Structure 1
Amino acid sequence: MQLKTMVIDDSPIEYVESGDPTAPPLILIHGWAQDHRLFRLLEPHLRDHFRVLRLNFRGHDGKLVDQDDFTAEHLIQDTLTFIERLKLENVRIASTSHGCWVNIGVQDRLGSDRLGQAVVIDWLMKPFEGFHQQIAQGTDPDTAAAARQSMFEEWIEGTDSIDVIDHVNREMTWFGDSMWSRACREIGKSYAQWGSPLERMAAVDGGLEVAHIYSQPLDPEYKRFQEEFSAKNPWFTPIHIPGKTHFPTLENPESVAAAIKTFFS
């Protein structure tokens, strides 16, 4: 495997490709202030079934080339261009966290060309108390650093997984203040526009089957909320993966891969 680069709209878009090039394509999309390393433990369990493409967002390349401000809409367009240039057909997309807004945006734009199925991983279906305040603080220069640190502490609380701790304290901290501020701005915009991920997914023209693979929150009410929604909306399937953190691709990659393969089969 090697890191490849495709230039889209003057921005370097990095990706790592593995698996059989004739196998069904599977694009893995990370969240804001993350990159292909989020899937390093997951990829070995997928490459026997798929042509795996771990895509990095613009501004998330090795040199953090951030030529100008950009939005989630730019990331959607970049992904569509990526699919078009590689001539990918019946593409499968699995995304994590708030990169899932991009995934569903791409699904919507692909229209009849999409597979009709999508995997979202650890996407906050029902914001917890204080979430929107935390996101708003992340866009304010006076409170951004403290807000970001509170997120980091929350994400690694209760775990001794070196993979998770390194991802949060080393990999995610690598991205600068402007990226984190942009991330909070775009995440806030998405919730303001759609209300919740469930409403966004339900609005996809032509319908979409979605599997939500998640470990946290452990609150029984969160699980019950998703199960009750699924009972009324059979296009949505919640799949709980045991774990102590919001990073099941690092904490329990075998189970995540098994769920992905089962769903897309």
Structure 2
Amino acid sequence: MPNSVLLSVRGIMVDRLFATLTEYTEKNSGNVRKPKAGNEIAFTDYGFCHDGPAILTFSGWNSDHRGYSYVTSYLMQHYRVINMCFRSHGPNRDFKGDFSFEDHARDAISLLDSLGVTTFICLAASHGNWAAMSLAEMVGSKRMLALVILDHLSLEATPQFYGALKALQGKETWRKTTIAFFKSWLGGEVNDSIREQLLKTIGGFGYETWALSGKTVEAAYKTWGTPLKRLERLKDPPLVHHVYSQPKTEEYRNLHEEFRKTHSEWFTYVQARGQTHFPHIEDPEFVYKETLEVIDRAIKRQTA
């Protein structure tokens, strides 16, 4: 994303303001709070003055709130945006014990309650979506109005993927595995914002955190099969919109189209133009526009 963007959206000119806000949100280390649950939660809270539902964001594992700095710079002009980190993923990276995706969902409820947030929309990147789906199950569609999934691979886990998850759990193999991940993500022509995030914000995590990510993601796939199968099990689903970039195959699109036909009352999808699994970093303007459209639909659904 260039440092100067000129965009007219809903009557607001965003040019130098976008660059300034992005720089601020990317550098801000955020707040730390211990709600009733007693777990330390790192988060940022922008756009407090806005009415309407808040936007809650979940990062993927072993990354933090700064990945949302680009799209937050757009969204916070219209909505309150709360970017929440997993435990031990904020400025303090000290590992404080195992936790699950369900625990992260419960932490989110405690945080939202402490901040006085009633209704909200969730943006969930990659495996953060496992926690978002648990949150949807816990609070229902009257509180969580919509879920925007940001590129969560919706296929069955391959033996190679399971092998990588196991390698993350080994004291002798986790470091080599993480380096291989980073090199694959940084290979080729990588968007400048992607490169910046991978080089600056994913550091500071040791063996315990990487091992827990492998164990927890492995358990999620073995329990549910795929994210789409997990969505099907929601008793009271919110509006769900999947924004994905990869893979760009007809088979993958058909998988989503069949799911949309079966669940047309609440599921939609769109393919982004990006080359990575991080559309909110690679193309924040696109994710911003998609999110606004989903919020509009969610509010209409709520008041219908």
- TM-score normalized by the length of structure 2: 0.81
Equivalent residue for 1:58, pick from 87, 112, 134: 87
Comparing 33-42 with 154-163, which one deviates more in the overlay?
154-163
Equivalent residue for 2:288, pick from 242, 251, 257: 257
Q: Does 1:91 align with 2:120?
A: yes
Deviations 1:74-122 (A, max 9, x none): 2111011111112211211111010111111111100364244211111
When the two chains are superposed, the root-mean-square deviation of aligned CA atoms in Å is 1.8
In the other structure, the counterpart of 2:239 is 209
Aligned pair count? 265
In the other structure, the counterpart of 2:5 is none
Provide closer, same or farther for how the CA distance between residues 132 and 236 of structure 1 changes in structure 2, counting only shifts above 3 A. Answer: farther
Q: Does 1:175 align with 2:205?
A: yes
Deviations 1:132-171 (A, max 9, x none): 2221222222322222222222222333323212322332
Provide closer, same or farther for how the CA distance between residues 54 and 79 of structure 1 changes in structure 2, counting only shifts above 3 A. Answer: same
| Distance in 1 (alpha carbons) for counterparts of 2:248 and 2:268 | 17
In the other structure, the counterpart of 1:150 is 180
In the other structure, the counterpart of 1:44 is 73
Say whether the 8 Å CA contact 1:89–1:113 is kept in structure 2.
no
Say whether the 8 Å CA contact 2:156–2:221 is kept in structure 1.
no
Work out which of the two has the higher radius of gyration on C-alpha atoms and give 1 or 2: 2
| Distance in 2 (alpha carbons) for counterparts of 1:44 and 1:170 | 19
| Distance in 1 (alpha carbons) for counterparts of 2:49 and 2:163 | 44
Deviations 1:26-81 (A, max 9, x none): 11111111111001111111012211111112111202132222222221110111
Comparing 174-183 with 136-145, which one deviates more in the overlay?
136-145
SS in 1 for 2:201: helix
Equivalent residue for 1:166, pick from 196, 218, 223: 196
Question: Mind listing any 5+ residue stretches in structure 2 that lack a counterpart?
Answer: 1-24, 297-304
| Distance in 2 (alpha carbons) for counterparts of 1:118 and 1:160 | 27
Give matches, 1:45-124, under 5 Å: 45-111=74-140, 113-124=142-153
Say whether the 8 Å CA contact 1:15–1:56 is kept in structure 2.
yes
Q: Does 1:247 align with 2:278?
A: yes
SS in 2 for 1:211: strand
Comparing 41-50 with 114-123, which one deviates more in the overlay?
114-123
Tell me how far 1:194 sits from its aligned partner. 0.8
Percent identical residues: 25
| Distance in 1 (alpha carbons) for counterparts of 2:190 and 2:152 | 22
Equivalent residue for 2:249, pick from 207, 214, 219: 219
Tell me how far 1:178 sits from its aligned partner. 1.3
Deviations 1:225-245 (A, max 9, x none): 212221222122111110111
| Distance in 1 (alpha carbons) for counterparts of 2:66 and 2:33 | 18
